Amino acid sequence: MNAEPLSKQLFSDTKNASQLVRSYQKIAVTIDCVIFGYQDGQLKVLLIKSDLENYTEQWSLLGNEITHTETTDEAAYRVLKQRTGLSDVFLDQVKCFSTPDRHPGGRVVTVAYCSLINIAHHQLTCTDNDLHWHPVQDEIDWAFDHKEIFETCYGWLQKRIQEHPLGFSLLPEKFSLRELQGVYEAILGMKLDRRNFRKKFFTMDFLEDTGEMELNVAHRPGKLYTFNYKKYESGKKDWVGIDF
Amino acid sequence: MNAEPLSKQLFSDTKNASQLVRSYQKIAVTIDCVIFGYQDGQLKVLLIKSDLENYTEQWSLLGNEITHTETTDEAAYRVLKQRTGLSDVFLDQVKCFSTPDRHPGGRVVTVAYCSLINIAHHQLTCTDNDLHWHPVQDEIDWAFDHKEIFETCYGWLQKRIQEHPLGFSLLPEKFSLRELQGVYEAILGMKLDRRNFRKKFFTMDFLEDTGEMELNVAHRPGKLYTFNYKKYESGKKDWVGIDF
DNA sequence: GCAAAAGTGTTGTCCTTACACCCATGC
DNA sequence: GCATGGGTGTAAGGACAACACTTTTGC
């Protein structure tokens, strides 16, 4: 607020790095994971009942403190692994939330992470505290500021999935185009034109025809494709173009 | 790393929120500002000589701890204000950096912020520690992990300026299209076609002709425009399209 | 009159959108 | 044979890239 005294105090002299850091106020830092999953054509988010007194009826993101020896990334992977058994999955940092009174137990700064996994392919390793998947369009009674964190991550995901091939992590190794389109429609919350969707992905040229077909579907079976990551990498463009 | 003991410990019972937060490890949290400025057709970044022993020859971003009563956003605005006198400027959170040994004085988690200001229109309020503007393409001897933070923010800015009208904050109220194009070329690091650039911005339809012309230029004077924020807001589109 | 940048249009190409019909399978 | 989704093509419109000449001003 008043610039002079602080800048004078901070920049008068060289300082010892350890002393400086010792002088800083220390704060609890946590990570919270917004883990999205997809099942039956619906986008869902993984939540637990809060385990804090007075908040046990509210839904909470999966979170944990970060320890002195790990990065926030490592903490996020640790939590994801503990709760879902998953380790080979994307997990991206979205944003840091730091409102002083955001946590009822005192000052806690949290870093939000976002992930997207295939529900059908991973059993939850622990279902304490009512851990389960909630359709994203359900009314949810959120704990603390987790509604805001969730919404930020959901918006981030909708933008991200249009620019990066995240959708494939929701699908089995081999998938039909209908399944792929279902993922996009669920995440973006809108219907897409089937013919244009197919054209789009075929011209992007990283889907590989496996030669196999769907089995046991109550309609004409579709071809199964795999996502060729190498082709995706080599075909990436780096210039997007000005477009507000 | 080993999931079982921790999840058992954390989720056995309801807990008191204050006790839980008290049990968390506490860490120093800082913000670092990557403040970009534009002058003479060049993009520059505002740096100081580190004021830490053994690091006084290296260049450092403007940073500070966050206190118990402020958000990281508030801390970033505070630092920006102290160092540049500016307050009516965009400042966006980019990313949190948390490698345990990133700071020589001990564990410090930092949140990087990015801003873009008009150098010619703001005097620096304090030039201690060799505070000054460095062209972004200069070789810079960075302190700590500030090179990584800078590069992340620079990439973020290049993407961001293509999707949001940030460039106008670098220009006077009234500006010519040549000036606007100069900003984009400096930030993106490439030449753009003048005719296509003009077409692009005219069809986006939020530039307003002031009726005035440039003065004192050694060539045919150009028209001066203003950025009409209201028109920009109302014309924004929300659907971008899948495009990897 | 020369240097420097302003201002302006067209064409070809590509991408996007909207839209309709027949086909293969399970039941 | 009916329901369900698979698979396909085209035409119109819009965006983008490439490209050259005339005009206005300061010096």
Residue A39 β-bridge partners: A42
State whether B78 and B185 are in the same domain. no
Structure tokens at A216: 């046991």
Q: Please check whether residue A184 lies inside any domain of the structure.
A: yes
Same domain, B110 and B210: no
H helices present in A70-225, as ranges: 72-84, 146-163, 177-188, 194-204
Domain tally for chain A?
2
Task: Give the closest-approach CA distance of A110 to chain B in angstroms.
Answer: 10
Tokens at B6, concatenated: 């921790």
Nearest to A28 among B6, B26, B99 (CB): B26
pLDDT at B240 over 90: no
CA atoms within 13 A on the CB side of A138: 14
**CB nearest A105 (choices: B7, B18, B200):** B18
How confident is residue B13, by pLDDT bands cut at 50, 70 and 90? low
Domain for residue B7, yes or no?
Answer: no
Minimum CA–CA partner of A233 in chain B: B244
Does residue A60 form part of some domain?
Answer: yes
Last residue of a domain, one of B119, B141, B162: B162
Whether residues B105 and B206 fall in one domain: no
Judged by CB atoms closer than 8 Å, whether chains meet at A13 and B51 is answered as: yes
What is the predicted pLDDT for the residue at B188? 96
Chain B, nearest residue to A130 by Cα: B11
Higher-scoring residue by pLDDT: B6, B173 = B173
The answer on B151 and B39 residing in a single domain is: yes
Closest chain A C-alpha to B215 CA, distance in angstroms: 29
For B53-69, the DSSP string reads TT-TTSEE-EEEEPPTT
**Residues B42, B153 within the same domain:** yes
Euclidean distance between CA atoms A240 and B5, whole angstroms: 47
Shared domain for B47 and B154, answered yes or no, is yes
pLDDT at B127: 74
Token pair listed for A91:
């997990």
Domain span at residue A154?
Answer: 28-162
Residues B114, B76 share a domain: yes
Mean pLDDT, chain B, rounded, equals 91
Question: Do both B148 and B219 map to the same domain?
Answer: no
Residue A105 lies in a domain: yes
More confident residue, B121 or B171: B171
CATH of residue A128: 3.90.79.10
What Cα–Cα distance (Å) separates residue A117 from each residue in A81, A84, A120, A166, B228? Answer: 12, 9, 9, 10, 42
A111 and A45, same domain (yes or no): yes
Nucleotides of D under 7 A from a protein CB: 3-10, 15-20, 23-27
Q: Which of B125, B140, B162 is the last residue of a domain?
A: B162
What's the whole-model pTM score?
A: 0.92
Count helices and strands (H / E) in chain B.
7, 9
**Angle subtended by helix axes A72-84 and B3-11, to nearest 10:** 80
Tell me the pLDDT band of B47, cut-offs 50, 70 and 90.
very high
CB contact under 8 A, B242 and A162: yes
Residues facing residue A95 across a β-bridge? A112
For residue A172, being part of any structural domain is answered with yes
Checking each nucleotide's C1' against the CA of A241, the nearest proves to be D16
- Are residue B47 and residue B68 in the same domain, yes or no? yes
How high is the pLDDT of residue A226?
97
Lowest mean pLDDT among A39-43, A196-200, B83-87, B111-115: B83-87
Token pair recorded at residue B117: 């200001």
* Tens place of pLDDT per residue across chain A (244 aa): 444 444 444 444 678 999 999 999 999 999 999 999 998 889 999 999 988 888 989 999 999 999 999 999 999 999 999 888 888 888 999 999 999 999 999 999 999 999 999 888 777 877 777 888 999 999 999 999 999 999 999 999 999 999 999 999 999 999 999 999 999 999 999 999 999 999 999 999 999 999 999 999 999 999 999 999 999 999 888 888 999 8
- d(CA A216, nearest CA chain B) in Å: 30
Banded pLDDT at B67 (limits 50, 70, 90): very high
* B3 has a pLDDT exceeding 70: no
Q: Is position B17 within any domain?
A: no
Residues of B with CB below 8 A from A83's CB? 7
Q: Domain boundary at A143, A162, A181, which?
A: A162
Q: Integer distance in angstroms from CA B207 to C1' D16?
A: 21
Segment B175-180 mean pLDDT? 96
Output the pLDDT for position A13. Answer: 62
Q: Is the CB of B176 under 7 A from strand C?
A: yes
**Is A103 inside a domain boundary?**
yes
Are B157 and B181 a contacting pair, CB within 8 Å? Answer: no
Residues of B in contact with A161 (CB under 8 A): 242
Say yes or no for a CB contact (<8 Å) between B244 and A103. no
Dihedral pair phi/psi, residue B68, rounded to 5°: -65, -15
Find the nucleotide nearest A179 (Cα to C1′).
Answer: D5
Q: Cα A125 to the chain's mean position, in Å?
A: 19
3-state secondary structure of A110: strand
| Distance from the A212 Cα atom to the nearest Cα atom in chain B, whole angstroms | 26
Q: Which pLDDT band holds residue B4 (cuts at 50, 70, 90)? A: very low
- Is there a single domain that holds both residue B104 and residue B136? yes
C1' of nucleotide C25: residue with nearest CA: A220
Q: What is the CA radius of gyration of chain A?
A: 22
Contact B111, B72 (CB under 8 A): yes
Mean pLDDT over B138-161 rounds to: 97
A199 touches strand C (CB under 7 A): yes
Q: Do B37 and B112 fall within a single domain?
A: yes
